[in-house]
Every structure is written in structure tokens, then in C-alpha cells.
């Protein structure tokens, strides 16, 4: 929901950083892999109870995730790069709830499982819509820079990042935050299914 507001604010500074990376010979796929690597470091830190350090690594990872697209647009976006980006994004998103479950399995395992199940709903509805939209040659004017039809919703990257950071800042309240975010993700899934059914009927 907030991505459409956050994206324009970040576009200019990301483009400036991307130009520096391109001049240094750094490609978009290298940035994607670096962002995923830092994201895994964030998960490892969280799993070991280093929540503050995990939050810093998490934010750094998402900065790199935004930067890879900017680098691609400064050079030549590719389908392979878009595929790599979205695949690693989903793996990263799954790693954070799992990390909290590892850190405190007694209290966090069930809410983490609920959140991961909710992520299955948002992810599958997102990718199913994108697949059929591509088959029909549909263009998304709201997100023209994306590699495929980028279907929004109540919970997008900005909201996910905000909840992950909140979980790191207040780890004792992980269960409450996880259940709340899972409920919001369920709303996103329901609206995407409704929108997809209506669009393709």
C-alpha cells in the first residue's frame, strides 16, 4: 500500500548511487546477490538474538534490493535479473520469521508459522496474477519500471520492512506483531484473489 509513495521518494537517491556503481563496473545481479547475502546475515543475527544488529543488516539488505533495479535501469534490465531478484526476495522474506522462531522456538514458532503461511498467500497470488498478466500482455502503469506486472496490496515491501524492523526493536512482542501482520497479509491475499478473478473473468 505504501510502496507507491515510498518508491518516488527513493528514486532520485537510488539513481545517484546506481550511477556510481555502474561507473565502478558493478552490475545489477551482483547488487542483487549482495542484498540477499546481507539479508541472510540479518536472519543469522536475529536467530542468535542480536536483534539490533539484525535490524541494521535487514535495512542494508533492502537498500541493496532497491538499488539493484536502479543499476539495471542505468544499464540494461534483463528477464534473468528480474527472475533472480524476485526469487531471492521471497527467500529473504521467509528467512526472517524463521529466524525469530529459531531464536525463541517456544514462544515464536507458532506465530512465525502463521506468518509464513500468510506469506504463501501473498506470494502465490502475486505471482499467479503476474504470470497471467504477462500471458495477456498487460502493462502496469503504477509500476512501469518493474520486470513484470507488479500487483500491489495492503501489505507490500514497505509494510513488510516496517514490521520486520518493529520485530527487531521489540522482539518480546514478536508474536503479536506476527499475528497482526499475518492478518493484514490475509486481507492482501483476499483482495488479490478477488481482483485477479474479476480481471481474468
DSSP secondary structure letters along 34-69: HHHHHHHHHHHHHHTT-HHHHHHHHHHHHHHHHHHH
More confidently predicted of 140 and 45: 45
Which of 103, 30, 114 lies closest to 64 in space, CA to CA? 30
Instruction: Give the chain's domain count.
Output: 1
Question: Who's near 160: CB < 8 A, 6+ residues apart?
Answer: 93, 181
Q: How far, in whole angstroms, is CA 172 from its chain's centroid? A: 23
**Residue 25 CB neighbours (<10 A):** 7
Look at 167 and 142; give whichever has higher pLDDT.
Answer: 167
3-state secondary structure of 197: helix
Q: What is the pLDDT of residue 18?
A: 83
8 A C-beta contact, residue 39 and residue 58: yes
Cell of 112: 512465525
Q: Which of 134, 142, 122, 141 is nearest to 192 (CA)?
A: 122
The cell numbers describing 161, all together, are 520492512
Cell of 134: 504477462
**pLDDT, position 147:** 54
Whether residue 94 contacts residue 61, with contact meaning beta carbons closer than 8 Å, is answered with no
Cβ 196 vs Cβ 129: under 8 Å: yes
Handedness of CA 79, 134, 39, 20 (dihedral sign): positive
Burial 97-132 (b: 16+ CB within 10 A, else e): bbbbbbbbeeebbebbebbbebbebbbebbeebbee
pLDDT score, position 3:
53
Say which range, 126-130, 138-142, 189-193, has the weakest mean pLDDT: 138-142
| pLDDT tens-digit series, residues 66-125 | 898 889 888 888 889 989 999 999 999 999 999 999 999 999 999 999 999 999 999 999
Whether residue 9 has pLDDT greater than 60: yes
In terms of residue numbers, what domain contains 77?
3-200
Give me the pLDDT at residue 141, please. Answer: 43
Q: How many CB atoms lie within 10 A of CB 19?
A: 13
| pLDDT > 90 in the chain, percent | 60
At 23, which CATH number? Answer: 1.20.120.1760
Amino acid at each position: 500500500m505504501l510502496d507507491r509513495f515510498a518508491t518516488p521518494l527513493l528514486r532520485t537517491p537510488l539513481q545517484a548511487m546506481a550511477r556510481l556503481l555502474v561507473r565502478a563496473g558493478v552490475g545489477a545481479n551482483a547488487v542483487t546477490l549482495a542484498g540477499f547475502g546481507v539479508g541472510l546475515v540479518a536472519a543469522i543475527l536475529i536467530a542468535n538474538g542480536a536483534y539490533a544488529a539484525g535490524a541494521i543488516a535487514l535495512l542494508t539488505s533492502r537498500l541493496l534490493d532497491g538499488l539493484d533495479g536502479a543499476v539495471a535501469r542505468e544499464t540494461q534490465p534483463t528477464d534473468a535479473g528480474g527472475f533472480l531478484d524476485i526469487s531471492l526476495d521471497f527467500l529473504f522474506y521467509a528467512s526472517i520469521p524463521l529466524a525469530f522462531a529459531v531464536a525463541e522456538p517456544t514462544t515464536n514458532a507458532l506465530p512465525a508459522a502463521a506468518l509464513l503461511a500468510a506469506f504463501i498467500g501473498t506470494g502465490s497470488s502475486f505471482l499467479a496474477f503476474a504470470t497471467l498478466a504477462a500471458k495477456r500482455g498487460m502493462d502496469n502503469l503504477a509500476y512501469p519500471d518493474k520486470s513484470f506486472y507488479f500487483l500491489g496490496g495492503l501489505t507490500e515491501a514497505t509494510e513488510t520492512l516496517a514490521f520486520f524492523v518493529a520485530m527487531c526493536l521489540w522482539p518480546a512482542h514478536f508474536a503479536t506483531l506476527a499475528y497482526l501482520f499475518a492478518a493484514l497479509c490475509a486481507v492482501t491475499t483476499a483482495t488479490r484473489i478477488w481482483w485477479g478473478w474479476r480481471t481474468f473473468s
